[in-house]
Structure 1
Amino acid sequence: MIQSVTTPEHKTEYLRRIAGKPYFEAVLGTHLNLFVEHPAAGWAFYLLPGSAVLELRGGSAALCGKLPDGEAGEDAREELAGFLRFLRADTLRAEHPLSLDGWRPAAPLTLWELPQGRALPLPPAPPAELVLDKAPSMLPVSRLVFAESDAEADEFYSTACTALAHGVGTCRALLYGGKPVCTVGCYEQSAAENYMAAGVTDPAWQGRGLARYLIVGLANELAADRTVRFACFPELCSFYGRLGFLQIGKIQHYTTDWNTR
């Protein structure tokens, strides 16, 4: 049975199930702590059969833990597929491989880390005309991160501002004429992990090493007190490998198109 997280006991159980899970504890845990009491923000959290939890926002879902084995597992997968269909979710990240009716596997995300206490060689500094801002205005940053979607930019802005206002994470940006042209941030944390995300460079400034400088610089700062982790798609793996980050696993990725069913 899929059970919405609505009580302190549910929240405690949800956090217990994601505890110690790279990526999931920081990301899902931050979202739960910030938004579980504010359903109007668009986030929803559920306990699933077995040891699994589910996070939903819009068309995106994340599943941590395992569904039961045997007949109970078949029933749980059928219920989950119907639930996701009803809510029109079309992307799913999962801790473990999963077979769901109507869903197809996509390229998994690679999970990277910089262990606590370690530091990577800092790439060359950016051009002198760029200014490093360690607390940039998040509105223009959001427009850089999601330049092609105002709706996604607004969602990112709301989530990031909420996290920062609650003391979770930080943001870095390189500014040209007061406008961000490259950014990376940390908007999810656990006691052991800083999760980095939203590394983006304006197309006009790509190829100049800006992302390398910001990503390594922020990772080194964050690794002083927690292990740093982030996920990427396969096409960026060689980039992060050259910077010196360590691969530690995969996050399964699934998609569906309910309009064709």
Structure 2
Amino acid sequence: MKNMILHTWGIHSLRLPSIFRIVAVVILGSILLPASPTLAHHGWDGFDTNNLVYVAGTVSSDGTWGNPHSHFDITVDSNLPASTPDLEIPEQLQDPEDSTRVKAAHAYNGSHNEIEVIIAPPTWSGMWGLDRALEVGERFQGVGYINREDNGLFRPVVFWYGDDSTPVNQVLDNTLPVRAPLPGSSTDSGDTPIMGKDVLELSENEKSGDWVVWAVFGIIALAIGVGGFFYLRRSIRGK
């Protein structure tokens, strides 16, 4: 497989030193690898945005605190209230069209005792005072959506952490990703779904991260090219 890739890209014929050939294979492999399952969960489209749910429990794993998003597991409370308790709503979601829906979210009724939570990158969460990873055993409550393909994956539009139930906004602008009809209301009631923006998709932190990745690829590729040139030049002179 390695020789086929090298031959396709014209690298094998250069007879580069082993180190250059190895680096070349790593770069090409990284580019050709398909997106990981975690990245496939990226964006609101993969979640059931017509149904806001409330979950509560305790953090049960260290998870990952970083880009393009953070995630961790929680053990779900065995007895959840029927709907969202009386919790502080972040400023960006205090519009009645949004806050009413957050407060009316039904309790999670899935089959998982433990679910994975995916949240915005640290830069965004830090704007709301959360500048660290949540600790195992820490209290977590959230209102958000269940993934359409993996009902053990939860993505909040807002969550509350710690004994003080500190709120952390997870959406851009001043609206939910989708203002779906309220539970029990008719689709003819005038509740037209309104699409919002995605903090995970549009975060500047993630965009800059993409540029860093491609810059590193560019530097390594340039190093391979320059190294190969001088190696060939030295080999020709030695003949």
Could you tell me the TM-score, scaled by structure 2's length? Answer: 0.22
Larger relative strand fraction? 1
CA radius of gyration, larger in:
2
Could you tell me the TM-score, scaled by structure 1's length? Answer: 0.20
